[in-house]
Amino acid sequence: MTKGERGMHASRRPLADAEREHLRGEAEDLRARARRARSAPWAVVSGGVLVLYVLTLLASDASPLYISLFWLLFGIGLFAWVRRDFLRDARGIDASAAFLESALARGEADVIAVNALAYAEFEEVEDEGACWAFDLGDGRVLFLRGQEYYRDEEFPCLEFSVVQALAESEVAALEWIETHAPPSSPDRVIPAERKRELAERLPEHLGIVRASLSELEDRLM
């Protein structure tokens, strides 16, 4: 796609050095979170049980031995239960880190370059994320959806690239937007009530509808 040409073009390129550093930093942060999740149960349970144990000693006439045995057994059971949940979370975080590390090892990104004629904004319903429909100017409308695409100082605009760092499984491990034009205002804002009516017919992220913005809702229906 030449400069100024409307539409969408996909390509593949190596990751830039700055992108590699970003991936590495994200993966290291996730590994650190996983380590904290593995060590957290001991601190959480021991602190809470110790406070309750002392309060029970002060408030109860029961034998300190029985009180100690009760809170020891309770603490062991609580620790096992809490640790199970924290370890499950840690495994999930580690899996996400491994996904990023796979993309770092591969070192490639798919790039979807977009030069749109106009765009429409779908108002958010609850907290499902942003939803934008970009008129590619060639009879197609491209949808961008998700929590990552909320309005900011640079986006949305009419010329941008969606960059996907690829894991070795060919799946995008991380995705971000590179803007190539100033931010702009939507041609249309579709209310949340109307979006609810269209919810089951809206394309997924990066889905395409053959329509123009003016006829988009009719085509979806």
Same domain, 11 and 37: no
> Is the residue at 200 inside a domain?
yes
Torsions phi, psi for 139 (to 5 deg): 85, 15
Q: Decide which of 106, 137, 168 is a domain's last residue.
A: 106
Range of the domain at 92: 21-106
Model pLDDT, residue 113: 95
Query: What confidence tens digit (pLDDT) does each residue in 89-129 have?
Result: 899 999 999 999 999 999 999 999 999 999 999 998 888 88
> Is the residue at 2 inside a domain?
no
Range 149-175 average pLDDT: 93
Model pLDDT, residue 1: 55
Q: Decide which of 78, 106, 134 is a domain's last residue.
A: 106
Q: Which residues contact 136 (CB under 8 A, 6 or more apart)?
A: 6, 7, 8, 114, 115, 116, 117, 142
Q: Decide which of 53, 71, 106 is a domain's last residue.
A: 106
Same domain, 122 and 99: no
Model pLDDT, residue 14: 96
Higher-scoring residue by pLDDT: 115, 70: 115
How many structural domains does the chain have? 2
